[in-house]
Amino acid sequence: MTADPPAAVRAEPVKGLPSTLDGKEGQFLDKLGTNGVKGKLTANAPLAPLVWFKSGGAAELLFQPADVDDLASFMQQLDPAVPVMALGLGSNLIVRDGGVPGVVVRLGKAFAKIDRPDETTLRCGGGASGILVSSTARDAGIAGLEFLRGIPGTVGGFVRMNGGAYGREVRDILVSAKLVLRSGELVEWPLEKLGYTYRHSEVPEGAIVVEATFRGTPGKPEAIGAEMDAIARAREESQPLRSRTGGSTFKNPPGHKAWALIDAAGCRGLTIGDAQVSEKHCNFLLNLGSATSADIEALGEEVRRRVAEKSDITLEWEIQRVGTQ
């Protein structure tokens, strides 16, 4: 089943800023280099290899900081007009084909460290994956973090969006988070300041989550591991994990499941170009091989249109869409 959405269905623009580097990336890199930035800076860096959909354009500038101080220094030196966004595992993201203006920050291994301040608490770097955090909690006998096994992202991403799975979400376990603000200031926010709602937080635009502290309860590693295994099996059975996908595409409207609304609107298996609504779980979009990000986003908008027409419910994107068309 193939759809060609009308022009009115094309994706609406998302908030963003035009490029302010104006082709002067080299001069900018030279300036930063003389001011002691230690991390890796790459101009016109392809992002498609770094995101699950394997589509999209390049980052005007990709920065992989060496540590928190390096990131803070970089942000302080960067012109305030230049937009900044964080990139984790790229699992919940459409990078548009025109690329991302400004700076994309990717946290590497230096930000994936985890330590244990007390018996039921983990302090985790913003680059640590959900699998790593949940496995560390299991080995330490800390229960309550098992659901992170089902979130295909990093601490920075799921703290920002209040990620959740299998009946729990980040606000159930978060104690505090450390952020490098767009100004370069390092701050620590308690749970209450993050203003969590469903898949949303008050983390400011351009800020980078560099660390989070989670608290669970005492548990037995065997029981924790069994629950994690059950989550892994459930995901494998119900989701197209071995495909080029972005994860859950739309938020569940109050009182409804997005997948059920999509199915009722006849969208299971729907395609635009090489983009397809998964037949296994229709709240997942797939890149069957050569789909552009425009194909994927247009398919999502067509799904939204059909669901609204069928159920009078407007689906809200859960996947972040960034960059220019």
**Which residues are tagged catalytic?**
199, 248, 318
- What is the secondary structure of 151-211 as a DSSP string? --SBHHHHHHTT-EETTEEGGGTEEEEEEE-TTS-EEEEEGGGG--BTTB--PPTT-EEEE
- DSSP-derived pairing of the beta strands 217-218 and 244-248: unpaired
Among 104, 93, 46, CA closest to 71: 104
Among 18, 8, 5, 6, CA closest to 323: 18
Contact 256, 313 (CB under 8 A): yes
Three-state helix/strand/coil letters over 271-320:
EECCEEECCCCCCEEEECCCCCHHHHHHHHHHHHHHHHHHHCCCCCECCE
d(CA 291, CA 300) in angstroms, rounded, equals 13
Q: Return left, alpha or beta for 273; rule: phi > 0 is left, psi -120 to 50 is alpha, else beta.
A: left
Structure tokens given for 145: 């973090």
**CA angle centred on 34, ends 33 and 35, rounded to 5°:** 90
Q: Which residues contact 182 (CB under 8 A, 6 or more apart)?
A: 75, 80, 84, 204, 205, 206, 207
d(CA 94, CA 236) in angstroms, rounded, equals 22
Backbone angles phi, psi at 267, to 5 degrees: -95, -5
